[in-house]
Structure 1
Amino acid sequence: CVMQYSNSLDDTDKKPPNYCEACLKKFNDFLDDLD
């Protein structure tokens, strides 16, 4: 998941550009609360 902690820029570059299901749900819940 792109939201997980990285120790270096290299770690960040190796991650897929997607959210895991748990983070995606949190993000969508946050957006829903903005309405």
Structure 2
Amino acid sequence: MHYIICKSGMRSVRACQFLSEQGYNVINVQGGMLAFEEL
């Protein structure tokens, strides 16, 4: 399983879609690093 993260979460959604189509088991980190920094 791979966690995909970007700054805001929008690019990682597209990356997850692509990787999933290639057969990878992926999870998008919603909100990206901006949301992570708020924790």
Per the shorter chain, which TM-score range?
0.3 to 0.5
TM-score by length of 2: 0.37
Q: Which has the higher contact order (CA 8 A, sep 6+)?
A: 2
TM-score by length of 1: 0.40
Mark the structure with the bigger radius of gyration: 1
